[in-house]
């Protein structure tokens, strides 16, 4: 009887912590697939779904991995070549890309450090994923804004995180443009 209870506790722990972590790790390490079965993700560290992206972000924060958390965001080159290059002139309003990138980079660095400082090494669990409140569709990309996740810290009352401010969907995969500062 005692061994049976221990086995049930181990199984519950695996279902709650280990299996979701392994699934997310496989998605991150394997990369998401674009339209064809042999076509790799178009950019590094992309996710096949918004839910997988949210899981990856929460796990990076939980692990206090600032480098991994920031790797989920567009690089400067990706920002120029994928996002900026696909926005219509009316959207960018003749703003220099360097200025826009500077703001994004600052927000990513500041917000990611803040979330690691506040929630790093905590036992976090996603309670709810709320779809983006705004989706703009362009010929080659979609820009998603105000994506919310509700997270519980060590079983405490759930808190809505507005961390995932702007996300780009490119060739069926997702990557963060900017964290919400």
In the chain (181 residues long), the average pLDDT of successive 10-residue segments reads: 43 41 36 50 90 97 96 96 92 87 95 95 94 94 95 91 94 95 75
Cα-flanking dihedrals φ and ψ of residue 63, to 5°? -85, 0
* ∠ CA 79-85-88, rounded to 5°: 120
- pLDDT tens across 151-177, in order? 999 878 999 999 998 999 999 999 999
Q: Which two tokens stand for residue 104?
A: 């994004």
Percent of the chain topping pLDDT 90: 69
Secondary structure (3-state) at 84: helix
Q: Which two tokens stand for residue 50?
A: 């918004």
The per-residue DSSP string of 26-60 comes to: HHHHH----SSTTPPPSSTT-BSSHHHHHHHHHHH
- Domain ranges in the chain? 2-179
- At residue 170, the pLDDT reads 95
Secondary structure (3-state) at 137: strand
Q: CA-CA distance, 149 to 55, in Å (whole number)?
A: 10
């Amino acid at each position: 009887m005692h061994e049976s209870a221990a086995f049930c506790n181990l199984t519950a722990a695996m279902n709650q912590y280990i299996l979701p972590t392994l699934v997310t790790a496989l998605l991150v390490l394997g990369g998401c697939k674009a339209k064809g079965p042999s076509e790799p993700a178009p950019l590094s560290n992309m996710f096949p779904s918004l839910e997988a992206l949210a899981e990856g972000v929460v796990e990076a924060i939980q692990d206090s991995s600032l480098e991994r958390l920031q790797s989920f965001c567009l690089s400067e080159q990706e920002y120029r070549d994928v996002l900026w290059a696909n926005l219509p002139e009316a959207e960018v309003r003749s703003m220099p890309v360097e200025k826009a990138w500077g703001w994004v980079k600052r927000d990513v660095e500041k917000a990611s450090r803040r979330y690691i400082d506040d929630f790093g090494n905590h036992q976090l669990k996603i309670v709810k994923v709320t779809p983006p409140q705004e989706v703009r569709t362009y010929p080659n990309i979609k820009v998603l804004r105000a994506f919310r996740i509700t997270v519980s810290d060590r079983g405490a009352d759930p808190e809505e995180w507005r961390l995932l401010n702007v996300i780009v969907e490119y060739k069926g995969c997702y990557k963060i443009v900017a964290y919400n500062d």
